Structure 1
Amino acid sequence: MTSFKNRFLTGIAAAAMLAAGAGSAAAETWRYAFEEAMTDVQGVYAQKFKEEVEANTDHEIQLFPFGTLGESADIMEQAQAGILQFVDQSPGFTGALIPEAQVFFVPYLLPQDHETLVDFFRTSVAINEMFPELYAQQGLELLKMFPEGEVCMTTQEPVHSPADLNEVKVRVMTNPLLVESYRAFGATPTPLPWGEVYGALQTGIIQGQENPTFWIESTKMYEVSPVITCIGHNNFTTATMANKDFFDGLSEEDQQAIQNAADAAFDHIVEYQKGLHEESLEKIREAGGEDVQINILSEEERQPFMEAATDVEEEFIGMTGESGQQILDQMKEDLAQAQGG
């Protein structure tokens, strides 16, 4: 009896050790690439996401900031192929893949008020219900969309009206609607990969570009494009995604942990962004000194740009048809709700 009991207990212990070993073997390292540096908005979001996943699962997250795995197009291909489990990419680059995502580049669509903007991203039916289906069709699980900050343009000469952009070559992302936006604004839009922008500005191949102010400060764009103009036309949006086959193959517990991590990182990043626009402009002033000129256009000066944006909205519908119209209509309804309308 004692011998049987000992064998029984030994068997339980062995089974426990095997279970523990199986659990250990199931732990994986997941790869996550994004378009910015570790200290930029996407990097801050990614680090919080990593922290949450590792605190609540047995898995590890390996982060790959901009440049380590190529340009934006490269990391998207790697995510779709399953080489990467997670990717953060702006609709500015996924616009060719998911045309409806270009809606985030319709000028003057998104509100400038931070709290209203955050509420919109939290509650939007278009973002949280309609876009996941569109991303799924491309083999991607949309985890979270979030704003990164107000976009401003940098040029060599002051800009106070669309006429000031005449024949100015402005670098834009490889996004058809963004091309149309700058064409409507009077510029000559010039799509370029990000890695070529600083040198192109330095050599005069282009004379301007647009980005959130934290990115202008981080990448020192003001050194080669010292006139910064904010016309209030957009807030940069980005999206975190998982490879869908990878995500669908996970346990429900891991799927929930990933979604919880995305939610926690969202809360973290929107809090982090408070005042970031103004802080970035101040850092640019301090670093650039007298060579830098910062212009915040008045409502009157913005009016011609806003009028030009009407044509861009029509271009968006022309590019995307009925599905784009549905997305745009829903976003406008969602925005009205967020603004208390």
Structure 2
Amino acid sequence: MSKFEDKGMIGLAWSENGFRHVTNSVHPVKTPADLAGLKLRTMENQVHIDAFKELGASPTPMSWTEVLTSLQQGTIDGQENPIPIIVSNNMWDMQKYVTLTGHVYSPAVITMSKIHWDQLSDEEKGWIREASKAAVEATRKVVDQTEADGVKTMREHGMEVIEDVDKTAFQSAVQPTYERYGKDYGEQMIQRIRDAQQ
């Protein structure tokens, strides 16, 4: 958390959105080959973009504010997000298929501007820290519940949910991305990430 200060923010707590999955309006995605040519919105994150290129998709980085309109207009074929985001945004209105790839864990961080933080009293800072901790606990409960109920909810709204995913095939397909970023961030860091996924 202390590393946020270098960027002018105060890190307060780590929360989460869950694991990210792929949705699209073209066809079921069961293998990496099924992603070929699909225009998928990704976050504006070069690692994600490179990984989806390795999978054969056409990653389209864009901010979340543009995604729903782009899906409705057919500018993009699909997107990737955790189940709570898929459910809360009624993706079934725009997307027919969801594949539970679980390809990226999506943490969320609660931060505050250091400029404003520095103007607070110690008592006020304590209140903010307590509220952040409570927010994380509440968010995790909601995420857990939505993850548990989400597949049923998506099916009830007409989405075809592909649960039986050969994750090893997807991992193999993105191996060049692991290797490329292993050079930038160190093989030890990549191994730590892989070990955490086991």
Aligned partner of 2:160 in structure 1 is: 293
Structure 1 position 302 matched with structure 2 position 167: yes
Identity %: 28
Q: Deviations over 1:280-334 (max 9, x none)?
A: 221222223xxx2110134xx221111234333334345xx4xx44993695599
> Is 1:225 aligned to residue 95 of structure 2?
yes
- Cα separation, 1, equivalents of 2:138 and 2:115: 28
Aligned to 2:49: 179
Q: Which residue of 1 aligns with 2:67?
A: 197
**Bigger RCO of structures 1 and 2 (CA < 8 A, at least 6 apart):** 2
TM-score, length basis structure 1: 0.52
TM-score for both structures, normalised by structure 2 = 0.86
Deviations 1:216-235 (A, max 9, x none): 12212222221110112123
Partner residue of 2:13 out of 144, 169, 172: 144
8 Å contact kept, 2:55–2:170: yes
Q: 1:145 to 1:314 in 2, by over 3 A?
A: farther
Alignment of 1:1-341 (within 5 A): 131-133=1-3, 135-155=4-24, 156-288=26-158, 292-298=159-165, 301-318=166-183, 321=184, 324-325=185-186, 328=189, 332=193, 335=196
- 4+ long deviations beyond 6 Å: none
**What is the deviation of 1:175?**
1.4
Q: Is the 8 A contact 1:177 1:315 kept in 2?
A: no
Conservation of the 8 A alpha-carbon contact between 1:172 and 1:179: yes
Partner secondary structure for residue 273 of structure 1: helix
Instruction: Please state how far the C-alpha of 1:239 moved relative to its aligned partner.
Output: 1.0
* One-letter identity of the residue aligned with 1:225: Q
The structure that is strand-richer by fraction is 2
Higher helix share: 1
Output the amino acid matched with 1:304.
Answer: A
8 A Cα contact 2:43 2:63, kept in partner: yes
Q: Secondary structure at the match of 2:99?
A: strand
Q: Which amino acid aligns with 2:10?
A: E
| Cα contact 1:162–1:186 (8 A) shared by 2 | yes
5+ unaligned residues in a row in structure 1: which ranges?
1-130
